[in-house]
Amino acid sequence: MAYLWNRSHDWILMPLSPAIESGDRSHSVAPVESVAQISTLLLDTDPTLDPALAALAREAATEGVVLLANDGTLPLGGEQAVAVFGRVQIDWFAVGYGSGGDVKVPYIWNLLSALRDAGVRVDDDLAAVYSAWSAENRPKLDGTWGQWPHHFAEMPLASEVVSAAASRARTAVVVLGRAAGEARESTLEDGSFHLTADERAMLDAVTSAFARTVVVIDAGNVMDLSWVAGYGERIGSVLYAWQGGMEGARAVAAVLSGEVSPSGKLTDTIAWSYADYPSAENFGDPDHNHYREDIFVGYRYFETFAPDKVQYPFGFGLGYSTFAVAVVDAATDAGRVRIVAEVTNTGAEHAGKETVQVYVASPQGALSQPVRRLAGFAKTGLLAPGESERVTVEFALDDLASYDDSGVTGHRSAWVLEAGDHVFHVGTDVRSAAPAFTVTLPELQVVREVTEAAAASPAHPFTRMVRRADADGAAVVAYEDVPTATVSRRERILDTLPAEITPTGDLGIRLDDVAAGAASLDAFVAQLSVEELSLLARGDVTMHSPLGVPGNAGVLGGVSESLREKGVRPVTTTDGPSGIRVSAYASLLPCGTALASTWNPALVRELTARHGEEMVRKGSDVLLSPGMNIHRDPLCGRNFEYFSEDPLVTGLTAAAVVQGVQSVGVAACPKHFAVNNQETNRTRNDSRLSERALREIYLRGFELCLREASPRALMTSYNKVNGVWSHYHHDLVTTILRGEWGYEGAVITDWWMEDAVDPDFPALADNAYRVRAQVDVLMPGGVKTDEGPQAYADETILASFAQEGGITLGELQRTARNVLRLVLALAPVVDARA
């Protein structure tokens, strides 16, 4: 097995085929034959990865590639030479920046090598020019956190180089790349959201010299594509390649070569201009952002108010074949809607997959509604030309209810379905979907009554977007005041304080006994001292805890000798959404947007089950994944980690990740709960939004994920939500998450948190304030100061417990139960003294 060593990037490039013909092959490693052999090696020096996991990663990355335009130029085939332009063909962006991508990966394919491996006849002379220039002009990767480059400066392109390449090849491929990440927003600048002058010059030169040009965009975020239209027929095909991890370039090569027909679909709307996005005027403020667009996020806004502002609609994506979709059955029974569609490959040459998407147009009643919102979807298997398959899309009508936060329907703080026609549209994207079935409700139905929670603060009033009709009945934007909070938080908390379990002292009950059914969890908790309860409420002070695998993100659970003596084992957490971030080598998987763009939860589940097996091998108990915040704005730096502008796609994709990971006995930890939609001043920024938008858009994906997959852990976000930091947010975590949704897992903070005193209970500060909200564990456990994170534990829990009106024993025991349920859920629970 040969390995290529890229010294400039400190990556090992491992070709899986001898077709790669360049590079230094002198570096080689003996293959590992078994898991038993792996266990005898140092994990941080063993680059062997599971080939089945690599194959699934490539398959998922391939299905996530979205073909936006094609005049027949693609697929390339292997007969004619292809000239590849752009340095990103070599300096490939495999993932975004920060904890969601910083994996010690043993190899990453670039596109040049992948095209050769796929049998594409790359113009070698041009490739040599780019290879030499790239080797001499290595990307400058600033080591400062959050200061990584959005792009790599392009090679100046001499006209004679282009003309010479055009004399040898008929088709050109132009590769453009972008990256953003944690603490690193995209920006409205050339080289980030917009093209650079050198990139435009390259496109101008290439499209003038070649009759057929393909553009490949290697990015984790949506960027400006309005320039595509300016080239007209000079650009024949456009491929959006979301960052696909270590196998991503091979996935792109498989699509370009025709080995696989593209089947990815957009999970975001691509507008003609950034200014067209409804969030544009309320994004990026370091102090706060008003979510004035309310529920009209992404396609909900564009399809309702501004369809002419859309360049590529939500759910859109082409293949190399054509498909006919016919609804053959539609019915509703026992509150469920069931739509059966027959999908036929009507092309003559290429097999492919198609996604059937169902949208609902709810009646425009007392509550404003978008003209369409996604109700369900299903993807076919691989269909040969002429082959058909019937797919079923089924969902509960109650899941389409809207939340009344003002009482305009007569039912404040309730989920309702308004009277009238609920029309279901079926198609292959939001724009092409056609009416297929109608459910008529004769009167308003109250689906679920809840209680006001996390509503906007009266101290910061603002207005929100609503739908009104003009004289001709067309939808127009109007604004109304956002309802503000009316419930007393103090009274709510006092009414729900838990009873204490009478302390017993140590009776010799171990957690192993609870696992075996020989003792109750409450009996075990009754033994714990206040000090031990406080230890369960924080991690082991630092990242890279000596209690876990080297390079871990932090350890919780058995962080003290006394807890370990009682059978509470240390629980190791690791990043993250694109791979296990430890000192060991690990797989780098497709980014969140790539996975969601497959519209194939079954494939995501299969991939992440294999990933869970890698967690077991690498020593990770809890994967800090999936990232599932909404793509509210295309400039958010961490959009690559997240899935979509739509909560249904987000929730079902996240559920698939959790189901896969947890199928092998480890845990997934969805994040960031909630409303973490920008990186600018993320630890202090206040997300101000209506309760309706909070519940229907920003919490809905989490609710679906919890209902479908029962994640064993959940992470809060850094930001405030309507004035309260999420790690102190009783309404979010206790009232909604645990009270309404019934969640019993462990809730942890993002790494470190902001100091604060409970405004209603002054005897509670910092970690005591957090525990009252049922945010169970401070991670990694140390104190954050103005000088940065410190490696010593916070004592505010014990200080508060000693005060009148402070944290109660029952609250500490409640948090301990939440944490211990996580420990018990991890297989196996071993004797911590062994």
Q: Which residues pair with 667 in a beta bridge?
A: 622
| Secondary structure (DSSP) of 754-809 | ---B-SS-TT-BTHHHHHHTT--BBSS-EEEETTEEEEEE--HHHHHHTSTTS--H
Alpha carbon distance, N-terminus to C-terminus of the chain: 39
| Neighbouring residues of 507: CB distance < 8 A, sequence distance ≥ 6 | 523, 526, 527
Fill in the amino acid letter for 787.
E
Fill in the amino acid letter for 734.
T
Of 117, 512, 750, 766, the active-site residue reads 750
Closest by alpha carbon to 227, among 211, 243, 213, 210? Answer: 213
| Secondary structure (DSSP) of 138-152 | ------STT---SS-
| Residue 391 dihedral angles phi and psi, to the nearest 5° | -120, 150
CB 438 within 8 A of CB 424: yes
Buried/exposed 93-108: b ≥16 CB within 10 Å, e otherwise:
bbbbbbbbbbbbbbbb
| Neighbouring residues of 465: CB distance < 8 A, sequence distance ≥ 6 | 278, 292, 293, 294, 296, 301, 368, 477, 478, 479
Count of Cβ atoms closer than 10 Å to residue 5 Cβ: 17
Told to judge if 750 belongs to the known catalytic residues of this protein, a careful annotator would answer: yes
Alpha-helical segments (H) within 597-738? 601-618, 647-662, 691-693, 700-709, 730
What's the burial of 27, exposed, middle or buried (CB within 10 Å: 0-12/13-18/19+)? middle
Fill in the amino acid letter for 308.
D
CB 439 within 8 A of CB 422: yes
CB 447 within 8 A of CB 417: yes
| Neighbouring residues of 528: CB distance < 8 A, sequence distance ≥ 6 | 536, 566, 813, 816
Fill in the amino acid letter for 423.
V
CA distance 269 to 102: 28
Q: What is the CA radius of gyration of the chain?
A: 27
Fill in the amino acid letter for 498.
P
CA distance 294 to 630: 13
CB 256 within 8 A of CB 262: no
**Structure token pair of residue 667:** 């845990």
CA distance 305 to 609: 41
Query: What's the half-sphere exposure (Cβ side, CA atoms, 13 Å) at 109?
Result: 31
**Structure token pair of residue 538:** 């924080």
What's the CA angle centered on 671, arms 669 and 675, to 5 degrees? 160
CA 26 to each of CA 3, 334, 356, 774: distance values in angstroms, whole numbers, following the listed order: 8, 66, 49, 55
Question: So which residues are the catalytic ones?
Answer: 750
